[in-house]
Amino acid sequence: MYEKSIGIFLSKQEWKRLLQKQTDNGNDVTFYQYAKRGEELAIEVLFFNSEHLMLPELKGNAFVIKGTTLIEKGYISIPSIVYNTTKYNSRKIIRNIAELGQNPSIHIINERNSVKKKHLFDLIETQKELKQYMKKEEQQIESALIFQVLGQKGIRQKWKIPILYAKDSENKIYSFEEAYTLKFNNHLKMDELKGEIYKVSQKIFKILHYYYPGVFEIGLQFILDNEEIQLQSTCSIFTIAQDLQNWNDKLYKKIVNWPIDLANSIRLITTQKEEYTLRNSQKEYEEKRKSWDETLYSELIEESSSEKFNFWVKFKAFQDNQMTIKVPDRVANQLQKSPTSIKLGVKEEPCQCIIYKDAVPLKNNSYHYPIEILISQTLVDKMHLPLDLIYQIQFSNKKVLIGPTIGFLLGEKNQLYDLTYMEKYNDRFGEYETFGGLIIAFSPVQ
């Protein structure tokens, strides 16, 4: 059962500032709001120095905030739910947080909370429907207004956009409607443009979830070229919180309360599950869960019927003459329709999907904790599926989509492409654990 506490990881600088009671920047004030929201929900909010984590003991140096008083707790156990607020440059801290994220007893909100602009633009460059919204470096766009969108992810990995606003070069904040009228002096296409920003933002957030599943909240910055939106960059939650703090207190509190509310929902759902399954079967729990979701946490974990779920998986072959794939029941619970075909790259084959019972933990599903999927050797041979890799799969329109599949198109000098020559491509795989899948190199010449 999850304890009634949440850990907040701070950088060395943030830790030092709070202990010295220096609260002249937005981050510090927001940390006090976390503590206040914790008191309202009867959750103890523990602030940990990210440089003083003790692994594998799962302990860290912490303090709590009571009103305006800071109380040091010393080295204590890290709670089951942790919220990471900071972008770190220290490799040791990054490794420690990644290691915690792989621990099945720890749930991390924001294992990472930033994405480099270059990496985001590289991803968008691969999306035909989004390329038009990407600001090219050489473009000089005159714009006194920056439009900011915040995305925050709920329990079911669905992104919500709680705020869209604008600010000028003097950091004055405007609602979208005020900013649009100020810039264009009319309302003719205001609703259309607002809807387009939301639509584009949701597509970008889904791409981020696919390649950076550890990101739970992030801001996007857009500028307007005439009446066409162009993505300029990303921004942190603290940038947005600081903007809203003196502009709209209600929105500010809603946004900064989010990690505490999310942690409370995770704790309550997990506690209810454990209590219920002690008295009832797993099947009865799954049937009951829907009503809990709808009544207690509908705002946080509302699920769209069109939502697609990605899972990290590894495949294990079994002997069967049929084209068969076996899927654990907890994964199958996310499916709208039973799959009838399987697709890897451009290759697609019909298959039979069999659901089997297995206590598969989905909470920490990641590259390092993949779900095992059973697949017949016949289907493996037909799909030419390498079994020694970690993949992501998605269930969509009665298909099992395996991926990603990435190809390097080489030149025509096949005689050069031996193992020694291909070593130079190793630097392309520094981020492999963020996407997994099958990567091949090929030549247009046979």
Query: Does 430 map to a domain?
Result: no
What CATH number corresponds to the domain at position 168?
Answer: 3.30.470.20
Whether residue 146 contacts residue 172, with contact meaning beta carbons closer than 8 Å, is answered with no
More confident residue, 425 or 341: 341
State which of 112, 140, 161 marks the end of a domain: 112
Query: Does 300 map to a domain?
Result: no
Strands 5-10 and 81-84: parallel
Query: Does 140 map to a domain?
Result: yes
Q: How far apart are CA 102 and CA 367, in angstroms?
A: 9
Q: What is the pLDDT of residues 353-412, one digit of tens each?
A: 988 877 666 666 788 888 889 999 999 999 999 999 999 988 877 888 998 888 888 877
Query: Are 202 and 159 part of one and the same domain?
Result: yes
Query: Are 82 and 157 part of one and the same domain?
Result: no
Query: Are 365 and 316 part of one and the same domain?
Result: yes
Q: How far apart are CA 373 and CA 390, in angstroms?
A: 11
Instruction: Please identify which residue in the block is written with the tokens 């968008």.
Output: 124
**Predicted confidence (pLDDT) at residue 139 exceeds the cutoff of 50:** yes
Query: Does 357 map to a domain?
Result: yes
Query: Are 151 and 106 part of one and the same domain?
Result: no
Query: Are 15 and 63 part of one and the same domain?
Result: yes
State which of 56, 88, 112 marks the end of a domain: 112
* Tally of domains within the chain: 3
Q: What is the pLDDT of residues 285-302, one digit of tens each?
A: 566 655 555 444 443 433
Note the pTM of the prediction, 2 decimals: 0.64
Query: Does 412 map to a domain?
Result: no
* Residue span of the structural domain in which 195 resides: 117-235
Query: Are 11 and 90 part of one and the same domain?
Result: yes
Query: Does 106 map to a domain?
Result: yes
Residue from 71, 26, 29, 68 nearest 47 by CA? 71
Distance of CA 197 to the CA centre of its chain: 20
Q: How far apart are CA 115 and CA 231, in angstroms?
A: 14
Q: What is the pLDDT of residues 26-37, one digit of tens each?
A: 788 899 999 999
What CATH number corresponds to the domain at position 61?
Answer: 3.40.50.20
Query: Are 167 and 70 part of one and the same domain?
Result: no
Q: What is the pLDDT of residues 164-217, one digit of tens each?
A: 999 998 889 999 999 988 887 766 788 889 999 999 999 999 888 888 888 999
Question: In the 8-state DSSP scheme, what is residue 372?
Answer: E
CA angle 248, 252, 253 (to 5 degrees): 120
Q: How far apart are CA 118 and CA 124, in angstroms?
A: 10
- Kindly report the length of the chain: 446
State which of 112, 142, 166 marks the end of a domain: 112
Query: Are 45 and 58 part of one and the same domain?
Result: yes
Q: And the tokens for 226?
A: 């005439």
Torsion 364-367-369-374 (CA) sign: positive
Residue type, 368: H
Residue from 204, 193, 226 nearest 134 by CA? 204
Distance of CA 44 to the CA centre of its chain: 25
Q: Residue 44: what pLDDT?
A: 94
DSSP H/E element including 204: helix 190-211
Query: Does 375 map to a domain?
Result: yes
What CATH number corresponds to the domain at position 326?
Answer: 2.40.40.20
Query: Are 230 and 125 part of one and the same domain?
Result: yes
Query: Are 32 and 90 part of one and the same domain?
Result: yes
Query: Are 89 and 128 part of one and the same domain?
Result: no
Residue type, 26: G
Query: Does 39 map to a domain?
Result: yes
Backbone dihedral angles phi then psi of residue 326, each to the nearest 5 degrees:
-110, 125
Whether residue 21 contacts residue 60, with contact meaning beta carbons closer than 8 Å, is answered with no
Q: How far apart are CA 261 and CA 43, in angstroms?
A: 10
Q: How far apart are CA 325 and CA 177, in angstroms?
A: 51
What separation in angstroms does the CA of 204 have from each of 107, 221, 318?
Answer: 24, 12, 38
Query: Are 128 and 104 part of one and the same domain?
Result: no
Q: How far apart are CA 388 and CA 407, in angstroms?
A: 18
